[in-house]
Amino acid sequence: MIHDFGSVTLKSGETVEVGCVQGPELAWAERIEKLLGHKGDVWRAQNSEILRNDVGIEAYFYILHRDGVPFSNIMTVEVNGVGILGHVWTDPEDRRKNATTLLMERQMAHFRERGGKALFLGTGFDSPPYHIYERFGFRGIEDHSGSMDYYASSKSIFEGWYFAPGPAELEPLSWKHWPASPALFLGAFPGVVRSAPMKLIGRRSTEGRLLPLLRELADGKPARAVALRSRETTAVLGMAVWDWDPLWRDACLVDVYCHPDHWSRADELLAALELPQAARYVAYTDPECAMKCELFRRAGFRSVVTLPQWTPGDSANTHRVDVTLLEKAGAVTT
């Protein structure tokens, strides 16, 4: 589907068309894929997937175009009004004409009109794009972080609703968890080591980290992650993930992270992971999240070593935290 938003005038004086391509939309897929063809392989695959197939999420590509040829883009992907803003791009020859600002004005207005609740993005801290996003109500999640959030109401109102106690289901990873998980992993919640298998240390987004796992699903491989998903709000309340250790190939990295009000389901999340046969299973914890330490000890992991002051506790590096390595023996492999 294509939504026609009329026209805008660039700084150059040229009038161009504004539209929103709502995926899946085969008629526009190739044109948008070409516009965003500079992206890395995993991002190109993501764009093609949501432009060509119904994967259970709301995908919007806001574009400026000349007679159907797009030259500027902003994408949002959402579930229940919560999601990711990304792929902000204008062709080099059309930059410095106010294209991004004009397009974002329409995109943010449309997001609010649709009842949008929250968006999350990543950019360079204190960069020109960072300050553009600030003008539209986005705020850095913490000092010196390029991750930003936007709330149609307020953060406290949103989080009180989104993460509220209520019925929740365990689900193998799917596309619907992609837009819904940044709110959890970027939140100001306890824990610095949030997902060692996804290399999420500190308040970092799952936006890019989940895409390789989703691509594996498209290739017919089993899910390496399980999500705890709110039945009422569709929030990802917790996630368990595994991956092979990048250094020790007979070791399997395992991790679980939950919203503070939902750690009572963490044992179920861990048990639901279909772990491969490995010589050992390894987990990392930090003292800022005692619930995770307790979870792995209940699961039979033992502390091996504590690495003192091993990682920054925030983006500004105002303090450092210890990291504890835990291990559980597996089957002997050859």
Those residues of the chain that have pLDDT short of 50 are 334
Give Cβ neighbours of residue 317 (< 8 Å, ≥ 6 apart).
144
Query: Do 57 and 179 form a contact (C-beta atoms < 8 A)?
Result: yes
C-alpha closest to that of 199 among 311, 333, 40: 311
**Interatomic CA distance for residues 85 and 148, integer angstroms:** 10
- The string of pLDDT tens digits covering residues 110-122 is 999 999 999 999 9
Alpha carbon of residue 273 to chain centroid: 20
Query: Do 24 and 30 form a contact (C-beta atoms < 8 A)?
Result: no
Using only C-alpha atoms, the chain has a radius of gyration, in whole angstroms, of: 21
**Interatomic CA distance for residues 245 and 235, integer angstroms:** 29
Query: Do 275 and 261 form a contact (C-beta atoms < 8 A)?
Result: no
Domains, the chain: 2-116 (3.40.630.30), 163-329 (3.40.630.30)
Rounded (to 5) percent helix, strand, coil in the chain: 30, 35, 35
Q: What pLDDT shows up at residue 334?
A: 46
Query: Do 23 and 33 form a contact (C-beta atoms < 8 A)?
Result: no
Q: What pLDDT shows up at residue 1?
A: 87
Q: Where are the alpha helices (DSSP H) in the chain?
A: 26-35, 41-52, 99-113, 128-135, 155-162, 177-180, 182-185, 211-218, 266-272, 290-298
pTM score of the predicted model: 0.96
Give Cβ neighbours of residue 14 (< 8 Å, ≥ 6 apart).
97
Q: What pLDDT shows up at residue 330?
A: 92
Supply angle C-alpha 89, 21, 181, rounded to 5: 70
Q: Where are the alpha helices (DSSP H) in 53-193?
A: 99-113, 128-135, 155-162, 177-180, 182-185
